[in-house]
Amino acid sequence: MKKTVLTFAQAKEKGEKLTMLTAYDYSTAKLIDESGIDSILVGDSLGNVMLGYEDTISVTVEDMIHHGAAVARGAKNALVIIDMPFMSYQTSVYDAVVNAGRLMKEGRANAVKLEGGREVCPQIKAIVDSGIPVCAHLGLTPQSINAFGGFKVQGKSEAAAKKLLEDALAVQEAGAFAVVLECVPEKLATLITEKLDIPTIGIGAGAGCDGQVLVYADMLGMFSDFTPKFVRKFANTGEIMKAAFAEYDKAVKEGSYPEACHTYGISDDVLEKLY
């Protein structure tokens, strides 16, 4: 059955954990969907994972629509959330609504995600008012990497922890149905989770959150540029893929592939006429 924002609200009420993984293409989305994961995030991490950028800054609305629509075609049950990329919502409330609308109409998102706290609450409210569910994202927000000066745990000082809690309450008040907490100390994320009525989805924020999200290529051991401390590799798919690619290379070069069973026949009569 298709998961919705109501599934998220009910899970929080019942104290049931929510699961989310990223995906950027049809086949991966289908596998994730079939495994029973509640939600698929078409993260702007596609800039790193799919496009090889060093950050998420260059990702465009067109990129998100292109990959989002592919994921949506593969996700029959999971709630599909598409990230709003850098400068698609910060510029104005109008831009935010127009671009969120494109992600829903053209990308077939069930919801959108955007980064930031109180400063983007007018955008969250306007998008929600136009009928598009919004997931907020606080803590280490990768689109602000230049302002943070690197990938760092957020909310460690009293002032920063207070700001994070206030931002979480503000995005809830603005209408967000969930909030991702990225790279936040576990005890702070647990406290925020207890104070909020909407579910928190943690990534590097400990087990006290209402759910967890990971980049699929990280948890499968496919993305080797860097591996954050919070990632558990549930499989070593990267090594399995490399071994299979090398085996294919060897088989073709030594002539053991393709075999007769991999080929198509033609009648000798037809062939003879060509000589």
Q: Which residues are catalytic?
A: 182
| Among residues 203, 205, 209, 220, the one that binds ligand KIV under rule CB under 6 A | 203
CA distances (Å), origin 211, targets 7, 13, 179, 241, 258: 12, 13, 10, 29, 46
Distance CA 203, CA 272 (A): 65
Q: Which stretch binds ligand KIV (CB under 6 A): 41-49, 185-193, 243-251, 266-274?
A: 41-49
What is the per-residue binding string for ligand KIV in 78-117, x denoting contact by CB under 6 A?
A: -----x----------------------------------
The position carrying tokens 């860097």 is: 226
| 11 versus 23: smaller Cβ distance to ligand KIV | 23
Query: By rule CB under 6 A, what count of residues binds ligand KIV?
Result: 12
| Among residues 18, 32, 111, 180, the one that binds ligand KIV under rule CB under 6 A | 180
| 69 versus 114: smaller Cβ distance to ligand KIV | 114
According to DSSP, the residues that pair with 134 across neighbouring strands are 112
Give the three-class secondary structure for 253.
helix
Report the nearest approach of ligand KIV to the CB of residue 46 (Å): 7
204 binds ligand KIV (CB under 6 A): no
Distance CA 168, CA 162 (A): 10
Report the nearest approach of ligand KIV to the CB of residue 126 (Å): 21
| 49 versus 121: smaller Cβ distance to ligand KIV | 49
213 binds ligand KIV (CB under 6 A): yes
192 binds ligand KIV (CB under 6 A): no
Helices 93-105 and 61-74: crossing angle in degrees, nearest 10, is: 30
Q: What residues between 216 and 245 interact with ligand KIV by CB under 6 A?
A: none
Query: Which token pair is 118?
Result: 């109180």
Report the nearest approach of ligand KIV to the CB of residue 214 (Å): 8
Residues 6+ apart with CB under 8 A from 235: 219, 220, 221
Distance CA 1, CA 33 (A): 11
Which of these, 96, 121, 126, lies nearest to 171 by C-alpha position?
A: 121
According to DSSP, the residues that pair with 138 across neighbouring strands are 181
Question: Residue 83 — φ and ψ, nearest 5°?
Answer: -70, 140
| 43 versus 68: smaller Cβ distance to ligand KIV | 43
Q: Which residues bind ligand KIV (CB under 6 A)?
A: 22, 41, 43-45, 83, 137, 180, 182, 203, 213, 215
